[in-house]
């Protein structure tokens, strides 16, 4: 039953966070600093998620085929490739490195 209590508390907590976001005055959201931070926050969160998913397994730091795929995607981005090409390059390089046994 403890799991259901945790799920219920998490749901209530998420609802309260959403409610607090609606209660913020409009003037506070129109400040230039807040707008700059709001524009940069999704990029920072996506970068952190990418790094965590690429360089960790369980609780340890690893360097495997996923890192090669990420590096290939970064090169494709620098070369201004379209998004689908970037994803395709990352997939092909990751699969190739795994096929080589690394």
Mean pLDDT of the chain: 93
* Dist CA 22 CA 16 (whole Å): 10
H-helix or E-strand containing 6?
helix 2-23
The structure's pTM equals: 0.65
Q: Are 64 and 102 in contact (CB under 8 A)?
A: yes
Per-residue pLDDT in tens (0 to 9) along the chain, 102 residues: 689 999 999 999 999 999 998 999 988 889 999 999 999 999 999 999 999 999 998 889 999 999 999 999 999 999 999 999 999 999 999 999 999 987
Q: What ranges make up the beta strands (E) of the chain?
A: 56-57, 60-61
* Dist CA 99 CA 56 (whole Å): 20
């Amino acid at each position: 039953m403890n799991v259901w209590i945790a799920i219920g508390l998490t749901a209530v907590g998420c609802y309260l966070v959403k409610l607090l976001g609606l209660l913020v005055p409009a003037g506070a959201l129109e400040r230039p600093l807040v707008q700059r931070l709001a524009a940069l926050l999704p990029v920072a969160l996506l970068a952190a998620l990418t790094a965590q998913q690429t360089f960790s397994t369980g609780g340890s730091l690893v360097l495997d085929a996923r890192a090669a795929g990420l590096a290939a995607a970064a090169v494709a981005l620098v070369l201004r490739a379209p998004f689908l090409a970037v994803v395709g390059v990352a997939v092909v390089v990751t699969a190739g490195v795994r096929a080589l046994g690394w």
